[in-house]
Amino acid sequence: MKRLDDKIRRRKRRKIRIRKKIKGSADKPRMTIFKSNRYIYIQIIDDEKGHTIVSASNKEKDNRSIKSNAKEAGHLGEIIGKRLKEKKISTVVFDRNGYRYHGVIKTIADATRKTGIQF
C-alpha cells in the first residue's frame, strides 16, 4: 500500500509543479486529463472564471463502449475536438495533470490535434 501512496503523492507533486506554469484563459483554455483504472475524463477549463467549458469521458452514456486503454482513448480525443470546434475554440493549453506523456495521454493529445485543435 505504501508504494501506491508514494506513486500518487509523486504525481500530485508533479501536477503542482506543472500548474505553476500553465494557466488557461477564455481565448486559450486549459485541457486537462484525469485517468483512473476504469474511466478517462477530459475537461476544458477557463481558469480566469473557474468554469468548465467542455468535457468528455467514457462514463457518458454514448461513450461507454470506449475502453480506458491507449488504443481506444483516441476516440475521446476526437470527441473533445469536435466539441471544441462547436464552441469555436481552436487553441488550448495542454495539462497532462502529472502523468507521463505516453500511452493514453499521448493518444488523446494526438487525436485532438487531428481534429484541428492546436496546443
Condensed to tens digits (0 to 9), the pLDDT of residues 14-38 reads 999 998 998 888 889 999 999 999 9
Residue 104's CATH number? 3.30.420.100
DSSP 33: E
Q: Which domain holds residue 57?
A: 2-114
Look at residue 20 and tell me if it is in a domain: yes
* The total number of structural domains that make up the chain: 1
Look at residue 102 and tell me if it is in a domain: yes
Give Cα separations from 61 to 64, 66, 74, 110 (angstroms).
Answer: 6, 11, 17, 24
pTM of the predicted structure, to 2 decimals: 0.88
Look at residue 119 and tell me if it is in a domain: no
Fill in the amino acid letter for 9: R
**Helix, coil or strand: residue 40:** strand
pLDDT per position as a tens digit, 33-72: 999 999 999 999 999 999 999 999 999 999 999 999 998 9
Give dist(CA 45, CA 67) in Å, integer.
24
103 phi-psi bin (left φ>0, alpha ψ -120 to 50, beta other): left
Look at residue 49 and tell me if it is in a domain: yes
